[in-house]
Structure 1
Amino acid sequence: MTPQSPSPSPSETLDLILAHLLPLLLAAATSVKALVSRWRLVHSKLLLLQSSLSEASLARNSLSNPLFLDLVSSLHSTLQTLHSLSSRCLDPSLPTGRLLLQSDLDIATSSLTLHLQDLSLLLKSGLLSHKQHSPHAIVLPFPGPTSSKADIVLFIRDAFARLQIGNLDIKLKALDSLLELLQSDPAKLSPVVTAEGDVPVLLRLLELSTHSHLIDRAAAVVSLLSTSSASSCHAVFNEGGLGPLLRLIESGSVTVRHRAAAAVEAITIDPARAWAVSAYGGITVLINACRSGSGSPSSLQSLVVSSLKNVASLEDVRIAIFEEGGIPVLVKLLASDNIDVQKSSTLCLWSLASAGGDEMCVAIIHESGLPRLLQLLYSSSDRELLENTLRAIHALSVLPSAAKSLSSSPLFFSRLAEFISRGGISNFSCQQIAASLVADLSPSDDIKKSLAPCMSPLVKMLEISKPVVMQETASRALVSLLDVKSNRKELVRDEKSMTRLVKMLDPCNDQVSKRPVVSVVLALTSIGGNGARKRLMETGASQFLQQLAESEVAGAKKALQRLSGSRLKNLFLLGRS
């Protein structure tokens, strides 16, 4: 038995290609008698290969790069096939058949084109000039805390080269390397990965036809890039990542759907990108992922409904949510046991109700949205959820039917009283919305009487300079409550509140807008003989109102007339006695 000759080394194979196979093929490509036009194309590609391969052979340590070694081996096989095909094309009669030979040549040419692309990638990446720490390394050594930026960049380029050139195992290891790198410092390294890597290559791995393990790891990398920094998130969006991510939410495994949903949520935070969700048909995808029976766990629903909340600020998207049946889905999510789902659902419903017009408000009411929101308002203790819920209820209260229902509920106003009385910096938003609801609704006098303890906190709200709307809201709520005579008497007996009101009238106090305070004074001094005028006169309100009237502050002249009328009447009574 004749012993087999040993396989040539990579160096010998490279020399064989450069010194023998390529010159032979270049000559053959110009000598063929059949399929001449196709061989001209092959000839041009062989010239490019000769140039690129010569450049690669001169690289410092290319023969220790495993990707290059695999490429040399594949090239050798492809060139041998082309040599065999060139021999068959020397006979113009083509005894083996034209169609078969043409097909074989096209396949070999395609392989040659792919090899050229891979070789070009390796040359551009600079990997062939880098000395490997080990000639058998699958990936470059992982950059440590003290690694230079150049080392990190080279590591990233190496990983992306493997994603394009390597087999399945190499691609998986490359994705693992990228994931490990990003996890070590996501905010810092995400922009570097998107700047130095090839994001479109990464996104192509998200296609549903890709191997499931590749999709899983690629989704993890894309999710980190999207959620770690603004620039890397923008890079994912700019390279067309939103479409594949939405498809994964619809059709991926549970883990992949989570990762894709996290990326979509991050992308849609920016309104300049949020519009694209509708363009990709993503509204239907997001709504379906939130439906009961969709198989979506609450953690996934939380991410998806947050994306809906992000895009609901856009008019076209709001219409799409409405038309795709999103309102019933969002209302049902209010009963979720996941508080993040509830927060995003309430915000989304608020956006639809406040900017979507009466039609959307009616739809929310029709789906029992108001009772479910009230249930959250009564049962929750989470400040953010309560604020979102109040906003949604306030937006719905513009409908007469909702306003009537809310105005007749002592329990609802009791809850509003808690928000107003609690105050404090952390509750300013809830306090303001609650005060606005008190001002806008029309509760009975009995309910207004029950809200008397709120008047002192509302007076304090008048002193809050920012936001300016806080003073106006507090004033409107106080005016509403002071419509009841017993409440006017109650406020007059509150010395601290009366002192505050008078101090706020002082023109030198420029932290407080005067018109809202004057409105309260007018309401307080309305007909009723409650002692308010006398109390205001005693605390020096007249001089302040005189100055405000001279400055033409709305209502100041009328308030001054009421106080002056009271003083003249007292003088007249004293004269008669």
Structure 2
Amino acid sequence: MHPATDLPPSQSTHQVLELINHLLPLLLLSSLTVKSFVGRWQAIRTKLTSLRSSLSNISDCPHWSENPLLHDLLPNLLSTLHKIRSLSDLCHDPSSYTGGKLLLQSDLDMASASLSSILHDLDLLLKSGVLRQSNAIVLSQPGPGSGKEELGFFIRDLFARLQIGGIEFKKKALDSLLHLLREDDKAAVLVPKEGDVCYLVHLLDSSNPSPPVREQAALAVSLLATASDSSRKCVFEEGGLGPLLRLLETGSSGLKEKAAMAVEAITADPENAWAISAYGGVPVLVDACRSGSPVTQTHAAGAMKNVATVEDIRLALAEEGVVPVLVQLLVSGTGSAQEKAANCLWILASSGEDYRVSILEEGGLQRLLQLLQESSSSDTIEHVLRAIYALSSSASTARTLSSSVPFLMQLSELINHGNLMVQQISASLLVNLSISDGSKRVMGGCMAALVKMVESSKPAGLQDVAAQALVSLLSVRPNRKDLARDEKSVLRLVQMLDPQNELVSKKLPVSVISAIMAGGGKSCRKRIAAAGAFPFLQNLADMDIAGAKKALQRLSGNRLKNIFTRTWRE
């Protein structure tokens, strides 16, 4: 018998390899003549043959002895081979073994499994190419200006250490990987190509013996999921969504935050959103929004916003009680969580009357109006307005909004000072609501901004809704007089009438100018005529532009009256 023994510290890797190469032929020969468990020994002999080939390839690598992973692997291999030799002696003379046949069989299986594991690690080292490079390169982190070849080699070495080494090797490898992903944008593209993202995902499993390693792996997966389209796709295709959802459900607070961040990023791709339901993730997301940390809530709300576009998932979210959770986030969530919750409520409210009823019953409209007043974020305001606009298709909501002077005054303020998207949604609300003449008079101060919006070709639909909003406000006589006195706005409208101005559909300024002159009095027509509208309207009337003839008649009516009066006097 040759018991497995630990090697003395003084023994070099070259000496260990010599001992292994001396022992291997003896074991191969011995495996041919065993008398017990012949089938198992055939399998071991196949692995020993593969091992001989792998060791030969390692010896051909000029820098193999510099790699620290082999300092552990080779002694472990030598120990395993000593164990196999001991088992070989027993199988040559079964009568000398007193432990029982089942125990011997178990020892053979364990030795064979250990041999398979070491073979796998040696093959991984060989395939990575790191044994052909000097170890000095491995120890230095490539700088931001490093080339793809150097980065690729570094990544392959990291993943070799991650998969082969012990806990400390794994921690150091993950530290280096995290630093690389944070500091170099190219890394997120190269890691899926040069590394093993599947193994990284495997480290998220709860059976991982080291919580620190698991947490580092979760952060690495999260960074990959948020770094680029290709790395996010790789995380999803390697099965990352399921383990991430399990972390979001049962992990520590820190793990939940990292998992939520990654899940939000993965579900941002519409092609991945359906998988949330397949992995049973809907209740997990709702619960994370309900009781998670502020960071977890924020990213879980973002993930729900992403998946709410899928009808089946939308129904599942409603069944899990998502509406009251989202409404509560409007009040208690972070600024980003409030924005995402409002966005999700907009998607739900736009999807059917049942969702709108549920949102209204949970006090969603009041919470949205409150957030509209309190928020200073243009993105949040935009999504809140979208949600309010979707809810306004319900008659009761439309009545409430139409009679709320503070809300209408805020709409006017947003039209004056919001970004283009906020202006467009605000104008759309103005058009869709049944506003009293008194409230329209209060909102008259935003007419100049609406005129400018008619000039803006982007975003799509802005010009149309701005013109409609102007026509609505101009149904009040004092507003018509005010706009006619605004020389800059009148000049803008007249310039939009010019047939050579191709940025604006002519029917829009025509409708606004016609509305100004509709009962606006003689002074309104005089100011429009003085700005040079007559020849443009004449051309547009000849071109059969909708409303141009009527506007021309209104503008020229006073002129014809004066001509007839002069003729009668003469």
The answer, yes or no, to whether TM exceeds 0.5 is yes
Mapped contact 1:186–1:228 kept (Cα < 8 A): no
Distance 1:12 1:499, change over 3 A: closer
Q: What's the counterpart of residue 519 of structure 1?
A: 511
Counterpart CA distance in 1 for 2:32 and 2:12 is 30
How many residue pairs get aligned? The number is 561
Which amino acid in the other structure matches residue 431 of structure 1? Q
Q: Give the C-alpha shift of residue 219 in structure 1.
A: 1.4
Counterpart CA distance in 2 for 1:387 and 1:181 is 36
Q: What's the counterpart of residue 198 of structure 2?
A: 200
Counterpart CA distance in 2 for 1:403 and 1:102 is 79
Which amino acid in the other structure matches residue 560 of structure 1? L
Which amino acid in the other structure matches residue 88 of structure 2? S
Q: What's the counterpart of residue 425 of structure 2?
A: 433
Q: Give the C-alpha shift of residue 508 in structure 1.
A: 2.3
Q: What's the counterpart of residue 360 of structure 2?
A: 365
Give matches, 1:144-543, under 5 Å: 144=143, 149-183=148-182, 185-210=183-208, 211-291=210-290, 294=291, 296-336=292-332, 338-354=334-350, 356-422=351-417, 427-527=419-519, 529=521, 531-543=523-535
Counterpart CA distance in 2 for 1:327 and 1:159 is 45
Counterpart CA distance in 2 for 1:370 and 1:284 is 25
Q: Tell me, what secondary structure is at the counterpart of 2:393?
A: coil
Q: Tell me, what secondary structure is at the counterpart of 1:451?
A: helix
Normalised TM-score (structure 2): 0.91
Q: Deviations over 1:200-230 (max 9, x none)?
A: 1111111111121111111122222222333
Counterpart CA distance in 2 for 1:177 and 1:6 is 31
Counterpart CA distance in 2 for 1:401 and 1:17 is 84
Counterpart CA distance in 2 for 1:535 and 1:146 is 65
Give matches, 1:33-52, under 5 Å: 33-52=35-54
Give matches, 1:35-114, under 5 Å: 35-90=37-92, 97-114=100-117
Q: Deviations over 1:522-555 (max 9, x none)?
A: 3233357565445544544343223212222222
Q: What's the counterpart of residue 28 of structure 1?
A: 30
Mapped contact 1:465–1:471 kept (Cα < 8 A): yes
Q: Give the C-alpha shift of residue 173 in structure 1.
A: 2.0
Which amino acid in the other structure matches residue 418 of structure 1? E
Counterpart CA distance in 2 for 1:363 and 1:530 is 52
Which amino acid in the other structure matches residue 303 of structure 1? H
Q: Deviations over 1:329-384 (max 9, x none)?
A: 11110002521111111122122223x12222222111111111111112222222
Distance 1:297 1:251, change over 3 A: same
Distance 1:574 1:454, change over 3 A: farther
Distance 1:441 1:63, change over 3 A: same
Counterpart CA distance in 1 for 2:47 and 2:190 is 34
Counterpart CA distance in 1 for 2:60 and 2:367 is 73
Mapped contact 1:459–1:500 kept (Cα < 8 A): yes
Q: Give the C-alpha shift of residue 144 in structure 1.
A: 4.8
Q: What's the counterpart of residue 14 of structure 1?
A: 17
Counterpart CA distance in 2 for 1:435 and 1:514 is 20
Q: After the TM superposition, which of the residue ranges 454-463 and 402-411 deviates more from structure 2? A: 454-463
Mapped contact 1:18–1:54 kept (Cα < 8 A): no
Mapped contact 1:25–1:83 kept (Cα < 8 A): yes
Q: Give the C-alpha shift of residue 92 in structure 1.
A: 7.4
Q: Give the C-alpha shift of residue 321 in structure 1.
A: 2.4
Distance 1:187 1:547, change over 3 A: same
Q: What's the counterpart of residue 122 of structure 2?
A: 119
Distance 1:495 1:148, change over 3 A: closer
Mapped contact 1:488–1:530 kept (Cα < 8 A): no
Counterpart CA distance in 2 for 1:573 and 1:118 is 106
Q: After the TM superposition, which of the residue ranges 460-469 and 87-96 deviates more from structure 2? A: 87-96
Of residues 537, 540, 543, the one that matches 1:551 is 543
Counterpart CA distance in 2 for 1:460 and 1:129 is 67
Q: Give the C-alpha shift of residue 506 in structure 1.
A: 2.1
Counterpart CA distance in 1 for 2:50 and 2:222 is 38
Unaligned runs of 5+ in 2: none
What RMSD in Å do the two structures reach over aligned CA positions?
2.7
Q: Tell me, what secondary structure is at the counterpart of 1:334?
A: helix
Q: Give the C-alpha shift of residue 517 in structure 1.
A: 1.5
Distance 1:169 1:467, change over 3 A: closer
Q: After the TM superposition, which of the residue ranges 408-417 and 152-161 deviates more from structure 2? A: 152-161
Q: Tell me, what secondary structure is at the counterpart of 1:351?
A: helix
Mapped contact 2:155–2:195 kept (Cα < 8 A): yes
Distance 1:272 1:534, change over 3 A: same
Distance 1:47 1:449, change over 3 A: same
Counterpart CA distance in 1 for 2:286 and 2:218 is 21
Distance 1:574 1:439, change over 3 A: farther
Q: Percent identity?
A: 52
Q: Deviations over 1:209-264 (max 9, x none)?
A: 11211111111222222223333222222222222122212222222222222222
Q: Tell me, what secondary structure is at the counterpart of 2:142?
A: coil
Q: Tell me, what secondary structure is at the counterpart of 1:262?
A: helix
Q: Tell me, what secondary structure is at the counterpart of 1:346?
A: helix
Which amino acid in the other structure matches residue 130 of structure 1? Q
Q: Give the C-alpha shift of residue 9 in structure 1.
A: 4.8
Distance 1:59 1:391, change over 3 A: same
Counterpart CA distance in 1 for 2:7 and 2:326 is 70
Q: Deviations over 1:134-168 (max 9, x none)?
A: 9xxxx734335676654433332222112212222
Q: After the TM superposition, which of the residue ranges 201-210 and 563-572 deviates more from structure 2? A: 563-572
Counterpart CA distance in 2 for 1:132 and 1:186 is 22
Distance 1:533 1:102, change over 3 A: same
Q: Give the C-alpha shift of residue 70 in structure 1.
A: 1.8
Distance 1:145 1:310, change over 3 A: closer
Q: Give the C-alpha shift of residue 411 in structure 1.
A: 0.8
Mapped contact 1:449–1:484 kept (Cα < 8 A): yes
